[in-house]
Chains A and B, each alone.
Chain A
Amino acid sequence: MSEISIINISIIILLLPLVSFVLLIFFGKKFPKLYLAATGVVFVALVLSIAVTFGMLTSYSGETLSFSFTWIDFGNVPSIGFLSIELGFEINNVTALMLFVVNLISALVHLYSIEYMRGDIRYTRYFAYLGIFTFSMLGIVITNNLLMMYIFWELVGLSSYLLIGFWFEKDSASDAGKKAFLVNRVGDIGMWIGILILFTHYKTFTFSTIFEQISLGNLPFDSAAALTTAGILIFLGAVGKSAQFPLHVWLPDAMEGPTPVSALIHAATMVAAGVYLLVKIFVILTADAMLVIAVVGGVTAFVAATIALTQNDIKKVLAYSTVSQLGYMVLAVGVGAYAFAFFHLVTHAFFKACLFLGSGSVIHAMHHEQDIRYMGGLRKKMPLTYYTFLISTLAISGVPLFSGFLSKDGILAGTLAFGSLTGHWLLPIIGFTVAAMTAFYMFRLVIITFHGEPRNKEKYDHAHESKWVMTAPLAVLSLLSIFIFYTPNPISADAGWFLNKWISTPQTVVPAEASFDFMQSGMNKHETGLAQESGIVHSVQYTEAMHHAHYPAMFLSLILAGLGILIAFIFYQWKKVDLEKLTEKLNSLYKFSLNKWYIDEFYHATFISGTIRSADALSWFDYYIIDGIVNASASITRFVSRLSGWFDTFIVDGLVNFSALFSGFIGLSFRRLQTGKVQTYIVFVVFAVLVLLLFFRPF
């Protein structure tokens, strides 16, 4: 395949699910069978993505093919010059593999959903939403710039919102959808500001241009601190999307969506987008940014694992397990284990999708029962579901021969290497603790669900193995959880094609003083470029540390995973421990875990009710104070006008009327004198003359 055709096919792959969405939205009502076409379209995309991946890995391995176009042309902008906003796509090995992963899981979920969602009143709408999701996710995968990343990032958020709240008649579902959208937005705002920092300085959103500028020593605002800030802010986007602490709270709630959706979006692909973003911007992460990322990842892995220990909803266990595993991947990026972060993303996508689809198969068989305390013994009824579920559990628990062992082992080795190089030993300690907990809670889940005696006889009797459209995806995904697809050596992936041929860690572009020493290869940039092409992983120092850490990490993780599995068997299979007594003894810890560390309650008490209270207060303020002032000034005006009206009527006009009244009064009073009788007049005259005489006394 030529470069052009790889790009073109990738764009077609991107657009196919969009076509499916548009068709279903507009014609879904008229042609109810259109969902089959939608599934077909996604399978075509899968075949094409296999072709692209194959083409890339065989012909252009290590290269980046890209294509850009101008979206907004501002022309000649005063004091900036010619400015335009370019968008575009780029394909490299990571992108190609991601294309394959997304398309494969999307196709399998489409297939699975045909049966799982059958009979739903919004059946075609469901497939339409899957289409818009797949489109948005693929957009994230093949973009070559931060702006498009952000655009598709938000679109993914939208499709997640629509799918979580798909059964919107349930308040819990629509609440969960809204929560997911809003929590993600919080992270996205951080990401957006991070992107703005980079754009303001470089006037471009394109990854490669920004990286090149930084490698030439042109830092944003000439400060490494700004680069660190940008890195951490962009990472906030990943914190939201990949459900990292403290924004992880939306993911467990998102389980309100249909289970195949949980498999596709909330386990395998969308939540991995945050990790994918980190992989994309890995080269510009400074030492400080990496440390922040590592800590957040470690804390997430730990918190989620402790919560998963006690959950009783089959999907909730898997959800917290997903959060925890995503924490691993983020931790891996933070400690510089780039290749293993992406490797774990891929392996996790397969086995976690398998686990979710398997749980869907169980839920389907149990007539929408999700509480594992009512299950048990399903192994006999649903053998295919059981074995695929088991394989995936072995993978996630880190048992050799399975994919999860390889990728997780690499991450743990990475944390150990990081600890030895920087002294941050807490990270590997957390990593290994989580490994033990993972093995424990996963086997707890398997044992309670599939082993032992059925606890709900009635439901158990009705349970049955799912149809082939549901079990076939399980089989494919569990198959992909076996080591052989990644490396010929079951206990080490280092020599395998996945890490050796396909994925190579890019050289950081951060200047030496702002980056960890071990991230610098010690070679000059030119040599680094050559080294990268030949597949050498970053610095010699780090490679060595990883190498030293490899066996200790492997043995330690094997022991811990084995311990976790053993305890799970002792507790739940052989029942050697009285769990009720244990729970009573550890009551406060148990409650703490069961109630998810009370984080939701905390948010409710602080942010949510705080916002609503201040909104209420402001609304009051608006109504009574601001509008009150307006109305008061109106009242004052009215009062003044009434007052002047009164003044006018009673004082000004009153004076006029008074004088009229007065003269009238005078006139009236004197009228009495005018009697018309001569005698009276004579009396008046005499009286007047007397008065005058008395007064003037002329005599």
Chain B
Amino acid sequence: MENSQILTYLLFTPIIGAVIILFMKESQTVLIKIFGLLISLFAFAVSLYPYFNFDYTNPDFQFIHKVLWIESLDISYHVGADGISVLLILLTTFITPITLLSSWKAIDKKIKLFTMMMLLLEAGMIGVFMALDVFLFYIFWEAMLIPMYFIIGIWGGEQRIYASVKFFIYTMLGSLLMLVAIIWLTVAASKNIGLYTTNLILLYQQAPNIMLDIQKWLFLAFFFSFAIKVPLFPLHTWLPDAHVQAPTAGSVILAGVLLKMGTYGLIRFNLPLFPQSTVEFAPFISILAIIGIIYGALVAMVQTDMKKLVAYSSVSHLGFVVLGIFALTFESVQGAVIQMVNHGLSTGALFLLVGIIYERTHKREIAYYGGIAKLVPLFAIALMFASLSSIGLPGLNGFIGEFLILLGAFQSQVLDSWWYVVFAATGVIFAAVYLLWMYQRVVFGTVTNEKLNTELTDLNAREIIVLVPIFIFIVWIGIYPTTFLDLSEAPVSAILEHVKNYTFNFLY
């Protein structure tokens, strides 16, 4: 594909927006909010260009833009997108304006800084999903931590400092390993071709030829870094704290997009760079994923804090995604990709809804509520809808992801056992348990807490505008997933084919 600069334009849209806001007056809060929202909407519009001009049959990266950066090390500014990237970039640009609009009232201090941070965060996330140079990827990966750190640390709850530091350091720990692995990988690969490069596309061809003993360690270093981000059991404990302390917008971005960077990294780096190790470790990682599915669901069940409950449900749902990836079948990886989007939508919606009542009562404890269906009927319907999507009810998006992942995992030659699916499927039951139980305690019954009568008001127009686009996509994916599955079809096939080429002796 010829050089195209559209992705660069997309990347710089929020950055330029943030710079412009820098020069705006702190007191012009409304103007800043509107401007920030417009910029993020514009970024969404720009991101539609690659979607509509996407060549579905081409499994390679498209819209490539490459500029040599550090000549001596052959490091380039090198971006491009395949279907998986396009899908996740769309998710990012879709979620960002929603979060900005959702925090219209919730964020009441340092609005200028907040809007800037959100836009920079968006740029960082987009960058991660389009970087085709390992060095550039690392830069985006790290850069994105900073705005998130501030979002949790400044606008968060009571224990925001603890949570933000934990988030930052935990992730840094993984990143550090990744940095070491990147250096080792590029050096090791350069021995084979006699040329040092950080070009991911070239590394795809070279990395699998690295000695298996070294590959194994490289795989684990990358895996460890991504597993923290996912987060995979037992590396997940930063997540509940970060989610609970983050402001609603932060939680939504965190669940909606940030966690996907981990699973994206697994697909983008671990599978194609280290196919032999991927196959070797797949059963082990799948077991961890399944532990995460059941463990996350069980722990979610007994949480007393709504946000924490949703946070643990993420651990469970992302376990499905990891299982899908490492089952290494076409259906399961496709399911994992669509499940990333699904989780972003349904968990994003759940966090938005929890945020909406938190804004009114400043209480997240389930026990504080009860019988609110009568007081806020629209909210009750919306929460039911989001819960059902998360539960995986057929006709809504969650079902498609779980369906394809389980379908694929069942047929997986790498896993080669039904037990993975049997155990993973129990997670589907538990998902219904914790969500319906929470729903019952919050929404059903009679109003026992008199304060709620005065505190609660039903969804307002802005909140409806925030939720409806998400709900549209929840139904769309549920009924006609082909629109989205088509995007990732060619790259998923290509990646699996690539893995298979290097591992035929493992697979057959």
Residues of chain A touching chain B, judged by Cβ–Cβ distance below 8 Å, are 71-80, 83, 150-152, 154-155, 158, 161, 165, 168-169, 171, 174-175, 178, 181-182, 185-186, 189, 192-193, 196-197, 199-200, 611-612, 614-616, 618-619, 622, 626-627, 630, 634
Contact of A169 with B429 at beta-carbon distance under 8 Å, contacts A174-B444, A199-B407 already known: no
Cα–Cα, bound, A435→B411 (Å):
46
Cα–Cα, bound, A103→B14 (Å):
56
Among B388, B493, B497, which residue has its beta carbon within 8 angstroms of that of A158?
B388
Among B236, B331, B395, B481, which residue has its beta carbon within 8 angstroms of that of A155?
B395
Q: What would 10 A/B residue contacts be, using CB atoms closer than 8 Å?
A: A151-B395, A165-B444, A168-B443, A171-B444, A175-B440, A196-B410, A199-B407, A612-B302, A619-B298, A630-B166
Q: Fill in one digit per residue for B443-480: 1 if any A CB lies within 8 Å of its CB, else 0.
A: 11110000000000000000000000000000000000
Chain B neighbourhood of A615, CB < 8 A: 298-299, 301-302
CB distance from B172 to the nearest CB of A (A): 12
Contact of A626 with B234 at beta-carbon distance under 8 Å, contacts A186-B429, A192-B406, A193-B425 already known: yes
A189 touches B425 (CB 8 A): yes
CB distance from B373 to the nearest CB of A (A): 6
A182 touches B445 (CB 8 A): no
Chain A neighbourhood of B407, CB < 8 A: 196, 199-200
- On chain B, the number of residues with a Cβ less than 8 Å from chain A's Cβ atoms is 52
Q: Give the contacts of B374-414 with A (CB-CB under 8 A).
A: 374, 388, 393-395, 399, 406-407, 410-411
Q: For the complex, is B500 an interface residue (Cβ under 8 Å from A)?
A: yes
Chain B neighbourhood of A611, CB < 8 A: 298, 301, 433
Chain A neighbourhood of B481, CB < 8 A: 72
CB distance from B38 to the nearest CB of A (A): 31
Q: For the complex, is B205 an interface residue (Cβ under 8 Å from A)?
A: no
Name the residue of chain A whose CB is nearest to the CB of B431.
A185
Mostly, the A contact residues are helix
Q: For the complex, is B350 an interface residue (Cβ under 8 Å from A)?
A: no
Q: For the complex, is B75 an interface residue (Cβ under 8 Å from A)?
A: no
Cα–Cα, bound, A614→B297 (Å):
11
A178 touches B298 (CB 8 A): no
Cα–Cα, bound, A79→B301 (Å):
40
A174 touches B429 (CB 8 A): no
B331 touches A74 (CB 8 A): yes
Cα–Cα, bound, A616→B303 (Å):
9
A612 touches B301 (CB 8 A): yes
Q: For the complex, is B83 an interface residue (Cβ under 8 Å from A)?
A: no
A158 touches B393 (CB 8 A): yes
CB distance from B192 to the nearest CB of A (A): 26
Q: For the complex, is B437 an interface residue (Cβ under 8 Å from A)?
A: yes
CB distance from B321 to the nearest CB of A (A): 19
B299 touches A182 (CB 8 A): no
CB distance from A30 to the nearest CB of B (A): 14
Chain B neighbourhood of A154, CB < 8 A: 393-394, 399
A168 touches B373 (CB 8 A): yes
Q: For the complex, is B161 an interface residue (Cβ under 8 Å from A)?
A: no
Contact of A78 with B497 at beta-carbon distance under 8 Å, contacts A182-B432, A618-B298 already known: yes
Cα–Cα, bound, A151→B399 (Å):
9
Among B237, B429, B500, which residue has its beta carbon within 8 angstroms of that of A182?
B429
Chain A neighbourhood of B406, CB < 8 A: 192, 196
B394 touches A78 (CB 8 A): no
Cα–Cα, bound, A154→B334 (Å):
23
A77 touches B330 (CB 8 A): yes
Chain B neighbourhood of A181, CB < 8 A: 432, 436
In the complex, besides A178-B437, A192-B406, A612-B302, 16 extra interface pairs with C-beta distance below 8 angstroms are: A72-B482, A74-B489, A76-B493, A168-B373, A178-B436, A178-B440, A185-B432, A199-B407, A611-B298, A611-B301, A618-B298, A619-B298, A619-B302, A630-B170, A630-B237, A630-B238
Name the residue of chain A whose CB is nearest to the CB of B481.
A72
Q: Give the contacts of B63-88 with A (CB-CB under 8 A).
A: none
A168 touches B299 (CB 8 A): no
Q: Fill in one digit per residue for B179-205: 1 if any A CB lies within 8 Å of its CB, else 0.
A: 000000000000000000000000000
Name the residue of chain B whose CB is nearest to the CB of A154.
B394
CB distance from A102 to the nearest CB of B (A): 19
A189 touches B330 (CB 8 A): no
Among A150, A158, A614, which residue has its beta carbon within 8 angstroms of that of B298?
A614
A73 touches B394 (CB 8 A): no
Cα–Cα, bound, A80→B429 (Å):
31
Q: For the complex, is B58 an interface residue (Cβ under 8 Å from A)?
A: no
Among A77, A612, A630, which residue has its beta carbon within 8 angstroms of that of B493?
A77
Q: For the complex, is B159 an interface residue (Cβ under 8 Å from A)?
A: no
Contact of A618 with B295 at beta-carbon distance under 8 Å, contacts A169-B446, A178-B436, A627-B237 already known: yes
Cα–Cα, bound, A188→B456 (Å):
37
CB distance from A220 to the nearest CB of B (A): 12
Q: For the complex, is B4 an interface residue (Cβ under 8 Å from A)?
A: no
Chain A neighbourhood of B425, CB < 8 A: 189, 192-193
B237 touches A168 (CB 8 A): no
Contact of A616 with B302 at beta-carbon distance under 8 Å, contacts A77-B330, A168-B373 already known: yes
Chain B neighbourhood of A618, CB < 8 A: 295, 298-299
Chain B neighbourhood of A622, CB < 8 A: 237, 295, 299
Q: For the complex, is B496 an interface residue (Cβ under 8 Å from A)?
A: yes
Q: For the complex, is B506 an interface residue (Cβ under 8 Å from A)?
A: no
B418 touches A193 (CB 8 A): yes
CB distance from A68 to the nearest CB of B (A): 16
B426 touches A189 (CB 8 A): yes
Cα–Cα, bound, A32→B186 (Å):
69
Chain B neighbourhood of A186, CB < 8 A: 429
Chain A neighbourhood of B45, CB < 8 A: none
Which of B295, B303, B422 has its CB near the most chain A CB atoms (within 10 A)? B295
Chain A neighbourhood of B238, CB < 8 A: 630
Name the residue of chain B whose CB is nearest to the CB of A630.
B237
Q: For the complex, is B428 an interface residue (Cβ under 8 Å from A)?
A: yes
Cα–Cα, bound, A75→B493 (Å):
10
Name the residue of chain B whose CB is nearest to the CB of A165.
B444
Cα–Cα, bound, A618→B399 (Å):
27
Name the residue of chain B whose CB is nearest to the CB of A25.
B381
Cα–Cα, bound, A200→B329 (Å):
12
Name the residue of chain A whose CB is nearest to the CB of B165.
A634
Contact of A150 with B410 at beta-carbon distance under 8 Å, contacts A193-B422, A612-B302 already known: no
Q: For the complex, is B371 an interface residue (Cβ under 8 Å from A)?
A: yes
Chain B neighbourhood of A72, CB < 8 A: 481-482, 485
Q: For the complex, is B421 an interface residue (Cβ under 8 Å from A)?
A: yes
Which of A150, A169, A175, A612 has its CB near the most chain B CB atoms (within 10 A)? A169
Contact of A174 with B445 at beta-carbon distance under 8 Å, contacts A79-B500, A196-B410 already known: yes
Name the residue of chain B whose CB is nearest to the CB of A625.
B234
Chain A neighbourhood of B374, CB < 8 A: 169
Cα–Cα, bound, A189→B406 (Å):
11
A169 touches B436 (CB 8 A): no
Q: Fill in one digit per residue for B7-29: 1 if any A CB lies within 8 Å of its CB, else 0.
A: 00000000000000000000000
Cα–Cα, bound, A214→B482 (Å):
30
Cα–Cα, bound, A198→B418 (Å):
13
A155 touches B393 (CB 8 A): yes
Cα–Cα, bound, A405→B287 (Å):
54
Cα–Cα, bound, A168→B443 (Å):
9
Cα–Cα, bound, A186→B493 (Å):
34
Q: Fill in one digit per residue for B497-508: 1 if any A CB lies within 8 Å of its CB, else 0.
A: 100100000000
Chain A neighbourhood of B299, CB < 8 A: 615, 618-619, 622
Name the residue of chain A whose CB is nearest to the CB of B418.
A193
Name the residue of chain B whose CB is nearest to the CB of A171.
B445
Cα–Cα, bound, A169→B445 (Å):
4
Which 7 residue pairs of A and B lie closest in terms of their CB atoms, listed nearest first?
A: A151-B394, A627-B237, A174-B444, A168-B444, A615-B298, A196-B410, A615-B302
Chain A neighbourhood of B330, CB < 8 A: 74, 77-78, 80, 83
CB distance from B302 to the nearest CB of A (A): 4
Cα–Cα, bound, A612→B301 (Å):
8
Chain A neighbourhood of B497, CB < 8 A: 78
Q: Give the contacts of B289-310 with A (CB-CB under 8 A).
A: 295, 298-299, 301-303
Chain B neighbourhood of A612, CB < 8 A: 301-302
Chain A neighbourhood of B411, CB < 8 A: 200
